[in-house]
Amino acid sequence: MFKAPSDSSDSPGIEPQHAPRLAEANPIMTAADDVIVIVPTYNEAENLEAIAAAVRAHGYRLLVVDDGSPDGTGEIADELVSTDDGIAVLHRESKAGLGKAYAAGFARALELGGEVLCEMDADFSHDPADLPRLIAAIDEGADLAIGSRYVPGGGADDWPWHRKAISSGGNRYASLMLGIKVKDATAGFRAFRADAIRRLKPETCDASGYAFQVEMAWRASEAGLKITEVPIRFRDREAGTSKMSSSIAIEAMALVTRWGWQRRFGRSSRSVDQ
């Protein structure tokens, strides 16, 4: 299990009016140990060991959130935890959706003292080698860094045309309905400053599935947080099977439509401070 978070209350006091603006003059690098990468898993037995090794190679901590995978992913996670202090696992009883898994994962990662909390899939669609670039964007002042397929340099090269169409159509619809300026609001490769997570309260999100990503991007943009999109090349999974289903896509469409109508004709938006 993880070490207890260190107490930062003994940090030296700096007179704000005389001190240089350290964040601008000399960006503070997040220590690797202060980063927790949250990886939700459902039937990822073929991928978990390799993804854990890739995260730990950077020195980042790993939190696996497993929803009672029948293929033994949870047991593999337990083995990893027993040999590495930098790995933790949160076992949940049954498959409750990516959004609920992340909400629970963020709550645990905050308890564990993470300063930068990342989201990453277990299937290598998100390249762990890109994690330092997301964290660098946080160090440079972003509250939320999104690994984006839709900024110059990003892409999803090996996706078939229909996956590309669903993804870009979903992003356009979210931007039209919600006014989100983010180019890749459905992306699931992200880094958040811990304070941003405390403010956005993921545990109060409506979405259980992938719409969670849109809801969090929307909340972040409504809250005026600084969002930086970092280009990434998304790759198709090589091992294991996709959990994407028509019911997940329908939930996303229905929720974005409902939020859009509420935004235009009802409550202006769901305040994150409620």
Ligand X SMILES: Nc1nc2c(ncn2[C@@H]2O[C@H](COP(=O)(O)OP(=O)(O)OP(=O)(O)O)[C@@H](O)[C@H]2O)c(=O)[nH]1
Q: Which residues bind to ligand X, rule: CB under 6 A? A: 40-42, 44, 65-67, 95-98, 101, 121-123, 125, 237, 242-244
Inter-CA distances, 96 with 103, 123, 142, 162, Å: 11, 19, 30, 26
**What is the CA 130 to chain-centroid distance, rounded?**
13
Q: Least Å distance between CB 74 and Mg ion?
A: 19
The counts of H helices and E strands in the chain are: 9, 7
> Nearest approach, Cβ of 41 to ligand X (angstroms)?
5
- Using CB under 5 A, which of 34, 44, 123, 215 touches Mg ion? 123
Place of tokens 């469409």: 253
133 binds, among Mg ion, ligand X, none (CB under 5 to 8 A by kind): none
Which pairing describes strands 35-41 and 116-119: parallel, antiparallel, or unpaired? parallel
Identify the H or E element spanning 35: strand 35-41
DSSP string, 120-151: --SSSSS-GGGHHHHHHHHHTT-SEEEEESSS
Residue closer to ligand X by CB (options 77, 227) is: 77
Residue 66 vs 143, nearer CB to ligand X: 66
Residue 101 touches which of Mg ion, ligand X, none (Cβ within 5-8 Å per kind): ligand X
Looking at the Cβ atoms of 95 and 199, the one nearer to Mg ion is 95
State the residue number with the nearest CB to ligand X: 242
125 binds Mg ion (CB under 5 A): yes
Look at strands 87-91 and 116-119 and give their pairing. Answer: unpaired
Q: Return the number of the residue (121 or 215) whose C-beta is nearest ligand X.
A: 121
85, with CB counted inside 10 A (0-12, 13-18, 19+), is: exposed
The residues in 208-247 that bind Mg ion, with binding defined as CB under 5 A, are 237
Q: How many residues bind Mg ion (CB under 5 A)?
A: 4
Q: Which does 42 bind (CB under 5 to 8 A by kind): Mg ion, ligand X, none?
A: ligand X
Which residues of this protein are in contact with Mg ion, per CB under 5 A?
A: 121, 123, 125, 237
